[in-house]
Amino acid sequence: MKKYKIGYTTGVFDLFHIGHLNILKRAKEQCEYLIVGVTVDELVSYKNKQAIIPFEERIAIVESIKYVDKAVPQVNMNKMEAWEKYKFNVMFVGSDWKGTDKWNEYERQFAKVGVDIVYFPYTQGTSSTKLRKVLDCIINDQIASTKE
C-alpha cells in the first residue's frame, strides 16, 4: 500500500525531459492517485519566460505519462486554492524550493490541514533552462550562417 492516497505536483513541463519524468515517477511511487498541475501559458510569465511548447500540447504530454492519473491546468500559484479543489494529502516539490520563504509558509499552511510536503532532489544535468540555452545557440548560429 502506498503512503498517500492523493498526491499533487505542478510544473510548466516545457521541453519535457528526464527531470520531469523523474519527479512524476517518484511522486506516483508514493501515492495511489497523482494529480499534476500544468502551468498555463499566461502564468509562465511569472518566471519572465515564455513557454516554447503551447499549454494544450504540454498538458497532452503530461496526461499521457503513465504515472499521471489526472492533469489539470495550473491557473495561479496559490497552492492552498489547489488543495481546496483537489483535497490532496501530499504535495511533491523540487528540492530547489526547500527553505525558501514561500515554501516555509506553505509548510505551515499545509500542516494545519494535514498535508505533507515531500521535496525531491533536483535532477542534475538536465533542465528546461539548459535546453533553452542550447536551442538559442543553435538558432543564433543558423541565423549567423545565413547572413554570411
Tell me the CATH number of domain 4-122, given options 3.40.50.620, 3.40.50.2300, 3.30.420.10, 3.40.50.300.
3.40.50.620
In the 8-state DSSP scheme, what is residue 122?
P
What average pLDDT does range 70-81 have in this prediction? 95
In the 8-state DSSP scheme, what is residue 16?
-
Close Cβ partners of 17 (under 8 Å, ≥ 6 residues apart): 126, 127, 128, 131
Is pLDDT at 4 greater than 70 in this prediction?
A: yes
3 is a catalytic site residue: no
At 4, list the grid cell.
Answer: 498517500
What global pTM score does this model have? 0.83
2 is a catalytic site residue: no
Over the stretch 37-69, which tens digit does the pLDDT of each residue have? 999 998 887 666 788 899 999 999 999 999 999
Catalytic pick from 2, 47, 102, 133?
Answer: 47
At 1, list the grid cell.
Answer: 500500500
Average pLDDT over the chain, rounded to an integer: 87
pLDDT tier for residue 126 given thresholds of 50, 70 and 90: low
Is pLDDT at 1 greater than 90 in this prediction?
A: no
Is pLDDT at 141 greater than 70 in this prediction?
A: no
Q: What share of the chain is helix, strand, coil (3-state, %, to 5)?
A: 50, 20, 30
pLDDT at 96: 85
Catalytic pick from 49, 85, 102, 133?
Answer: 49
CB atoms within 10 A of CB 57: 14
pLDDT at 51: 87
In the 8-state DSSP scheme, what is residue 34?
E
